[in-house]
Amino acid sequence: MNVNIVDLGKMEYGKALEIQEKTVPRVLAREIDNTLFMVEHPPVITLGRRAKREHILLSDEELAKEGVELFDISRGGDVTYHGPGQLVAYPILRLDEFGKDLHLYVTMLEETIINLLKKVYDLEPATETGKYTGVYMDSRKITAIGIAVRKWVSYHGIAFNVKTNLKHFDWIIPCGLADRTVTSLEREIGRAVDFETVKSQFIQFFAERFEIMPVFKTLEEIL
């Protein structure tokens, strides 16, 4: 099974959200193959369906001063930060081809990151099965997951802190979990990494876990 891989580079959140919205019906109608978008966003805070405004610790005026946009979106979960150095992946998949099971789908996303961290960086990440989604290094969250599904087609996705400015997470209570901290790949391994290399590694482990063949496409070829 093929999956289109589209690298959006650095892109504002609103534009990437619009691209997802245009892609979901095309994947649903089988006009195009399942598609994975890779992107890096400027600073933005998104509020999922269960988000509480008090989990954003800055006022609207302070956020505007920092140049941070706010988006209320349809994914599950609470408050999430996206910013430079964070690898964001938006899989637009027909989930009936991957078990038609939301818990399984989230687990497969988690295992993509877990396998990458274990096999490439010799780390020991974990999940909190049955409690919170995402991937952790002890109590330090390294990857957030928030998905939405429309007629069994997935969108939104996964945010992996590669070389993210972790001070920006002080602006929020990430995912509403006050008893958790946030970490990044660079912090855990104690050295700098190349963002594009990690992106390629993610695509490799995503393809292996989902048993798919990546086919690299441009955005123009998709839309």
Q: Please tell me the distance from the alpha carbon of residue 190 to that of residue 50, in angstroms, as a whole number.
A: 34
Structure confidence by residue, pLDDT tens digits, 174-216: 654 555 789 999 999 999 999 999 999 999 999 999 999 999 9
CATH number where 152 lies: 3.30.930.10
What is the number of domains present in the chain? 1
Instruction: Look at 122 and 58; give whichever has higher pLDDT.
Output: 122
Residues in CB range of 50: below 8 A, 6 or more apart: 76, 77, 78, 176
User: Domain range spanning residue 88?
Assistant: 2-222
- Which of 5, 106, 175, 198 is an active site residue? 175
- Give the model confidence (pLDDT) of 55-96 as tens digits: 787 787 888 888 888 777 766 667 888 999 999 999 999 999
Q: Where is pLDDT greater, at 128 or 201?
A: 201
Here the tokens at position 186 are 């660079």
pLDDT band at 131 (very low <50, low <70, confident <90, very high): low
The CA radius of gyration of the chain, in Å to the nearest whole number, is: 16
Query: Residue 169 phi/psi, 5° resolution?
Result: -70, -10
Whether 175 sits among the annotated catalytic residues: the reply is: yes
**Count of other CB atoms within 10 angstroms of residue 63:** 18
**Per-residue model confidence (pLDDT) at position 69:** 81
